[in-house]
Amino acid sequence: MRNKNAEKREERSSNIKKSVVLSGLVGTGGLFVAKLLGLFYSIPLSSILGSDAYMAYYGNAYRIYNYILNICTAGFPMAVATVVARYKVKEDYKSLLVIRKLALAILAMLGLFGMGMLMIMAGVISKIMLQSDTMNSESVTIMSNLLRIISISVFLVPILASFRGFYQGLKEMEEYAFSQAFEQFFRVGFMLSVSWLLVYVLGYERKWALYAAVLSTGIAALAGILQYIWFDRRKRPDLETAAEAQEGEAVDRRTLTREFLVLAVPYLISSIVGYGDDIFNTMLLPIGLRRKGYDEATRSIILSACNYVGSKLNAIPMILAPGFTAAVIPHIAGAIEKNDHEMVEKNILDCLNIILFIGLPVSFCIAAYAPGIYHVLYYTADLKTSSEVLAWNAVEGIMGTIGPVVSTIMMTVGFRKSLLRRLAINCIGKAIIIVPMVSAFGYPGAVMSSVICNGYAIIFNLKEIHDNYGVEFRPLLKTLVQLGGGLVLIFAVSRILNMAGLSAAEGGRLAGLIRLGVNGLSALAVYLVYTSYFGIPQKIFHRDFRIFRHRG
C-alpha cells in the first residue's frame, strides 16, 4: 500500500512538472491560500487597530517593504530558477550543488544590505510619505519604528527565497506551494494572537498591535526557513548521490557566478523599475493628494483604501503573477535549451490565457462589489470615498497581474535589453505624470497613469515576442473579447441582485456577508456558464468543461 501511494505521488509530481498550467496552478494554489489568509486576517486586524491612520501606516510600511523585497525576491531567485533549470536539463548535478550554495550566499548578502539601508533611511522615508499638515512627531516616530521592524524581514525573506528559487528550478512546485501557505499560517497566527493579547488583555496602546503585526512577517520567514531546511535535508541526498555518479567535474565556480549574475542583474534592474508603483503610491501619491486639496483625514482614508485594503484585495488576482512566473521560467528555459519553439509558444499562450480567464473576473468583482466588501470586511470612517478608491484600485490589480508575467517571459526568452528599456520608460513616465494627474483628477489620476505606462510596456513586449518567436496572439485577443462579454454579465447580475435586496453595502455585517457571498457567487456562476459556452476553459485547461456548446 505504501509503495502504491508513493508511486501515485511520484506520478502526480511528474505530471505537474511536465505542464506549465499544472505547475502554475499548484504554485498559485499555495499563494492563493496565503493571500486568502491575508484577506481574512485583515478583517480582525483592522478592528484591533481601529484607525484609518494606523491602517494607512501599516499599508505604507508594506509598500516600502514589498518594493525592497521584490528587488530581492523577484530578481535573484528567478535567476536561480533559470540557471538551475538549465543545469537540470544537462543533468549536471555537481554544478547544481554549487549553485545552491552560491544562491544562498548572494541572497543573504543582498538581504543584509537591504536591511541596513532601510534602517538608516527609515526616518527620512517616513517624513516624505506622511506629508502631514502638522508633521506630528509621534506619527513620524511610529512610521519609522514600523520600517525598522520590517527591515528584519528584508534580511530573512531573501534567504527563504534562495531555497524557493532553487527548488522552483527543479520544478518542485508542490513544496513551493506548501511553503507559501505554511509561512502565511504562521504569520497570521502570530500577528492576531499577539496583537489581541497586547490590546485586549494587557491593555497596551493600539500602536503596539501595529508593531506586532509588522514583526510577524520576520517571525514567519524564520519559520519558513526552518521548514525548507527540513525539506532540503530530505531532497539533497538524492542530488548528492546523482552528483557522485556523474562523470566529470562541476562547472568552475567563477563561471557559474558570472552566468548567475548575467541573468540576475537584468532581473534586479527590472525589479527596481518594474515595481515602482509601490514607491509611487507611498511617496508621490500623498503629494498629489495634498496638491488636489484633500485634508489630512481624507488623505489617510484614501491611503488606507489604496495601500492597505486595496493591496490586500488586489493580492488575490495578483497571486497569479508569482505563481505562473515561478512555473513558466523552468518550462520555457527548458524548451529553449532544447530549441523547441513550438513548446515555448504553447507555454506562453497557456500562461496568458489562464491569467486573463481568472484574473479579469476577480479584479472586476472587486470593483463591482467595492461598497459591499468595505462595509462587511473593513473599518473606514467614509464608506463612499473608500469604496470608490477600492474600485479604481482594482484596475491596477489586473495590470499588476499581467505585467510581471509578460516581463518574466521577456527575460526568460532573452529580450533583456528591450525589456529593461521599456520598464525604465514605464517607471520614469509614471514618476513624471502621477503627481500632476492626481492633482488634476484626484486618486483616479494615479490609476490612469498606471494604465498608460504599464499598458505601453505590456503591448510592446508582446509585440516583440510575436516578431521574434512567431507567437500568434490573435486567438488571445479573441478570448479577451469573449471574456469582456462575461464581465458585462457579472456587472448586470450584480446590479439586478442589488435591486432585488442582495446588496451587502447596508445592514448588519453578518447578513451583509451572506448577501455578498450569494450575489458574488451567482455572478461568477453566470460567468463560468458563459465562458463554458464558448469553450474557453476547455482551451485553457485542455479538458472539455462545456455545459452548452457554441455553434458557429
Q: pLDDT tens digits for 3-39?
A: 555 444 444 444 444 444 455 455 455 455 555 665 5
Same domain, 481 and 438: no
Asked if the structure places residue 257 within a domain, the reply is no
Asked if the structure places residue 65 within a domain, the reply is yes
Per DSSP, helices labelled H in 75-172 are 76-89, 93-130, 137-169
| Share above pLDDT 70 across residues of the chain, in percent, rounded to a whole number | 82
**Residue 503 confidence (pLDDT):** 87
pTM of the model: 0.66
The three cell numbers of residue 385 are 470615498
Same domain, 431 and 523: no
Total residue count of the chain as it appears in this document: 552
Distance CA 324, CA 27 (A): 7
Return mean pLDDT, the chain: 80
Q: Residue 311 — very low, low, confident or very high, per pLDDT cuts 50/70/90? A: confident
pLDDT exceeds cutoff 80 at 377: no
Distance CA 179, CA 30 (A): 7
Same domain, 468 and 484: no
Same domain, 356 and 462: yes
Same domain, 405 and 490: no
**Residue 64 confidence (pLDDT):** 83
Find the domain containing 339 and state its range: 20-247+275-472
**Residue 65 confidence (pLDDT):** 84
Asked if the structure places residue 286 within a domain, the reply is yes
Q: Which residue's entry shows cell 535589453? A: 417
**Residue 525 confidence (pLDDT):** 93
Same domain, 171 and 239: yes
Are 412 and 82 in contact, with CB atoms under 8 Å apart? yes
**Residue 552 confidence (pLDDT):** 46
Asked if the structure places residue 10 within a domain, the reply is no
Same domain, 345 and 436: yes
Same domain, 438 and 512: no
The three cell numbers of residue 444 are 483616479
Asked if the structure places residue 324 within a domain, the reply is yes
**Residue 197 confidence (pLDDT):** 92
Distance CA 403, CA 458 (A): 6
Asked if the structure places residue 305 within a domain, the reply is yes
Using alpha carbons, select from 357, 349, 345 the residue that is nearest to residue 28.
357
Same domain, 455 and 523: no
**Residue 11 confidence (pLDDT):** 46
**Residue 90 confidence (pLDDT):** 79
The three cell numbers of residue 379 are 473599518
Find the mean pLDDT for residues 344-359.
Answer: 81
Least confident of 102-106, 401-405, 441-445: 401-405
Residue with the larger pLDDT of the pair 405 and 491? 491
The three cell numbers of residue 439 are 492633482
Count the domains in the chain.
Answer: 2
Q: Residue 408 — very low, low, confident or very high, per pLDDT cuts 50/70/90? A: confident
**Residue 324 confidence (pLDDT):** 57
472, 491, 513: which is the final residue of a domain? Answer: 472
Q: Residue 337 — very low, low, confident or very high, per pLDDT cuts 50/70/90? A: low
Q: pLDDT tens digits for 156-182?
A: 988 988 888 788 777 666 776 777 778
* Ramachandran area for residue 551 (φ above 0: left; ψ -120 to 50: alpha; else beta): beta
Least confident of 131-135, 225-229, 327-331, 368-372: 131-135
Same domain, 550 and 408: no
Least confident of 1-10, 191-200, 331-340, 350-359: 1-10
Same domain, 450 and 517: no
472, 505, 538: which is the final residue of a domain? Answer: 472
Asked if the structure places residue 230 within a domain, the reply is yes
Using alpha carbons, select from 53, 155, 105 the residue that is nearest to residue 256.
105
pLDDT exceeds cutoff 50 at 44: yes
Q: pLDDT tens digits for 477-520?
A: 888 999 999 999 999 999 999 998 888 887 777 788 889 889 99
Asked if the structure places residue 547 within a domain, the reply is yes
pLDDT exceeds cutoff 90 at 467: no
pLDDT exceeds cutoff 50 at 320: yes
Same domain, 449 and 490: no
429, 446, 472: which is the final residue of a domain? Answer: 472
Q: Which residue's entry shows cell 496602546? A: 205
